[in-house]
Amino acid sequence: MGFSALQIILVFVWVFIVAIDQFDFLESLYQPIVSGAVIGAILGDLPTGLVVGGTYQLMTIGNMPVGGAQPPNAVIGGVMATVFAISSHLDTTAAVGLAVPFALIGQYMVTLLFTAMSPMMSAADKMAEKGDTKGIVRLNYLAMALLGLLFAVVCTLGMLGGSAMGTTLSNLAAKYAWIMAGLGAAGGMMRFVGFATLLRIMLSNEFWGIYFAGFALATIIGYIPELSGSALLLIAFVGIAIALYDYQTRVAIKQAAGSGFAANGGDDEDGI
């Protein structure tokens, strides 16, 4: 599949914006589920963009920078996974697997840029001492522009390369099915790795029961043909119901404790 000049320009502009959004705007435009849909719409295949973006979102849901350590970049990875899936007609999981090296390139670029900008902080301190607000603004704009430009160039080059390699990748998928099967398996595992990372950070002992109950419920509903399509939505409603009940119970306990009801032993007017 070839790309028009307009599509290439729109992808360049979008990646430039979301690269900055990841660290400065923080409007969640950079999230793969959003970015994948936009890239899919630009390339004329919105459904594939939504599916690939959602899959990549599951993969990166637990990724977060810790101090100066950066995870594989979700912006570049999500964009390139969508481009590969649409341009080369690859399976979603295989496209995600192919995009991982690009996500690593993004990780290295962010680390390199942050390292290069570190000495500039002393310059910013001197500007602050002098009250040079315009200088500080220019410094921030420079960092954002460099970040957006690096990401946009990498994705555009990858997009053009992916377009040129489209036929090759398609032939490779047909001739060496075992390679694509391996990429598909690796891409399929990524979403579970993302959830595992998230659970390792968030899960405490009191939530294990809810976790196993949700897993069992998902398995049961998934095996009912009439409900399997809406299983995720149904489980979300069950989770919301449990969360609301737990919240209301805790609020009621705090209110009772604050009013002295519990301290006074309750009200025995009804004979209890």
Q: What is the mean pLDDT of residues 132-158?
A: 87
Q: Which pLDDT belongs to residue 193?
A: 63
Q: Which of 30-44, 100-114, 183-197 shows the highest mean pLDDT?
A: 30-44
Average pLDDT, rounded, for the chain:
77
How far is 169 from 173, CA to CA, in rounded Å?
6
Residue 256, both tokens: 């009772």
Q: What is the pLDDT of residues 188-217, one digit of tens each?
A: 565 566 566 666 666 677 777 887 888 888
Are 174 and 90 a contacting pair, CB within 8 Å?
A: no
Position 272 pLDDT exceeds 70? no
Give the pLDDT score at 269. Answer: 52
CA distance 20 to 130: 28
Asked if pLDDT for residue 154 goes beyond 80, the answer is yes
151/173: higher pLDDT: 151
pLDDT tens digits along 158-173:
888 765 554 555 565 5
Cβ atoms within 10 Å, residue 262: 11
The pLDDT value given to residue 12: 93
Residue 239 host element (H or E): helix 231-259
**How confident is the model at residue 164, as a pLDDT?**
52
Higher pLDDT among residues 38 and 3, named by residue: 38
Stronger pLDDT, 12 or 112, i.e. the higher one: 12
Per-residue pLDDT at 263:
53
CB 91 within 8 A of CB 180: yes
